[in-house]
Amino acid sequence: MGILNDDAVLIEPGKNSGDPNIVTVNCPDESGLGSTLCRIILEFGLSITRADFSTDGRWCYIVFWVIPDSSGAKIDLGSLKNRLLSACPSSLGAFYFCLQSNVSKPPSLYLLKFFCRDRKGLLHDVTKVLTELEFTIQRVKVMTTPDGRVLDMFFITDAMDLLHTKRRQTETCDHLTAVLGEHGVSCELELAGPELESVQRFSSLSPVAADELFGLDGFDVSSSSNKAVLTVDNELSPAHTLLQIHCVDQKGLFYDILRTSKDCDVHIAYGRFSSKVKGYRNLDLFVRGTDGKKIADPKHQANFCSRLKEEMLCPLRVIIVNRGPDTELLVANPVELSGKGRPRVFFDVTLALKSLGICIFSAEIGRHSTLDRQWEVYRFLLDENREFPLASLRARKQIVDRVTKTLMGW
């Protein structure tokens, strides 16, 4: 969005190994800014251990304490600062509005295509490189040939918006070549035009698979009521509704709460995201409706709390189904009203499957619409594995558990 004052985002590295980095954002406010900042932090493989934020609707002040999801992970704090700065609205008024039409255009979509010999963990290794280079994977098509070769097609956007340059393209192919090593054969990058629309097409889900994945029976939040307790108080503050949340901790929890509040048109004026205690988090949020007043309507309160509880307890859905003679792993997450899916899902799923030694025969990313929302769906056809025979219900449960725990950070 283009803010020129570097002091809008300050990052203080942790003093000792294991200490959190402290990220301070001090800039003009806009609707959904907190959700956008949390999303960027999640994209960088960071977890928010604590947070404090406040806004008067015009200016906001936010402090995040963040640590890497995995030990030993290297985080480019300079790139993180630049990405956070790019999300901050400018305080330069007319100058900002003159530029807005240019900076708000959607990023260009590119097709990365490579053909190489297959091996265990290849898809995750490639995904790791793309993630580290700050690419967002929008769509994917992975196909394995009978002779043990694989054709991977990644439709990606560049957070740096530099993929049109020769230098950035060469850097990308060089990093991939280093990972593929002797397995590599070819690597190509091109702007994805309308002629590639058929390649991006997503195979429709069978009615049985869709019902199991999106039906409420398998994801009944009432059975997990002790994992999330929400309390609404309209007496403590004269101008805001106090929402207190006690919830089991998981990766992206703060992001899920803020994105849901944004999509439900609930504005947070002040909030505190406390440190984890015995696997649980406590949050205090002072909120208002779109009219700037308390949320007094009991029906509105109930609908918002129900939606929030569902998004906190079931932000992702993971199942294994039969697809003809094959076995397919399905992972789904809600799409934000802005049209964006959840960060790093493909990264985490391929990491979980690699850790189990399970090879992926083919993979797809697409969208599926239900009555009330749109979902991003990840489909993985799995290869047979001696340790995890896919016909076994026990093996399937182990795979689903490992993928779910990796996605949730458990």
Query: What mean pLDDT is predicted for residues 292-318?
Result: 93
Burial of 298 (0-12, 13-18, 19+ CB in 10 A): exposed
Domain ranges in the chain are 1-90, 107-200, 227-314, 316-409
Predicted local confidence at residue 220, as pLDDT: 55
Query: Of the ranges 175-189, 203-217, 294-308, which is most confident?
Result: 294-308
Predicted local confidence at residue 57, as pLDDT: 87
Predicted local confidence at residue 394, as pLDDT: 95
Architecture of domain 227-314: 2-Layer Sandwich (3.30)
Query: What mean pLDDT is predicted for residues 72-93?
Result: 83
Cα 348 to Cα 128: distance, rounded to the nearest angstrom? 10
Report residue 207 as tokens. 């009615």
pLDDT digits (tens, 9 = 90+) for 128-176: 999 999 999 988 888 888 887 888 889 999 988 999 999 999 999 899 8
Q: Which of 170-174, 192-196, 340-344 has the lowest mean pLDDT?
A: 192-196
Predicted local confidence at residue 105, as pLDDT: 65
- CATH superfamily, domain 316-409, is ACT domain (3.30.70.260)
Domains 1-90 and 107-200 agree in fold: yes
Predicted local confidence at residue 143, as pLDDT: 82
Predicted local confidence at residue 99, as pLDDT: 44
Predicted local confidence at residue 236, as pLDDT: 93
Predicted local confidence at residue 4, as pLDDT: 46
pLDDT digits (tens, 9 = 90+) for 12-51: 998 888 899 999 999 999 989 999 999 999 999 999 999 9
Considering only CA atoms, give the Rg of the chain: 22
Cα 88 to Cα 115: distance, rounded to the nearest angstrom? 39
DSSP 390-402: TT-HHHHHHHHHH
pLDDT at 395 over 90: yes
Query: What mean pLDDT is predicted for residues 311-316?
Result: 91
Query: What mean pLDDT is predicted for residues 60-73?
Result: 86
pTM of the model: 0.89
C-alpha closest to that of 202 among 369, 382, 370, 390 = 369
Predicted local confidence at residue 100, as pLDDT: 45
Distances (CA, A) of 374 to 219, 238, 279, 329, 341: 17, 37, 31, 19, 10
Q: Confidence band (pLDDT; 50, 70, 90) for 101?
A: very low
Cα 129 to Cα 337: distance, rounded to the nearest angstrom? 29
pLDDT at 410 over 80: yes
292 Cβ neighbours under 8 A, 6+ residues apart = 267
Cα 50 to Cα 281: distance, rounded to the nearest angstrom? 10
Predicted local confidence at residue 198, as pLDDT: 54
Mean pLDDT of the chain: 87
Q: Given this structure, which CATH class describes domain 1-90? A: alpha beta
Predicted local confidence at residue 180, as pLDDT: 78
Residue type at position 313: L
CATH code of the domain made up of 107-200: 3.30.70.260
Predicted local confidence at residue 117, as pLDDT: 83
Predicted local confidence at residue 18, as pLDDT: 83
Predicted local confidence at residue 305, as pLDDT: 95
Distances (CA, A) of 203 to 14, 354, 394: 46, 24, 28
Between these two residues, 91 and 67, which has the higher pLDDT value?
67
pLDDT digits (tens, 9 = 90+) for 264-290: 999 999 999 998 898 999 999 999 998
Predicted local confidence at residue 219, as pLDDT: 56
Between these two residues, 349 and 205, which has the higher pLDDT value?
349
Predicted local confidence at residue 237, as pLDDT: 93
pLDDT at 70 over 80: no
Report residue 66 as tokens. 């963040």
User: For every residue of 166-217, which 3-state class applies, written as one string?
Assistant: HHHHHHHHHHHHHHHHHHEEEEEEEECCHHHHHHHCCCCCCHHHHHHHHCCH
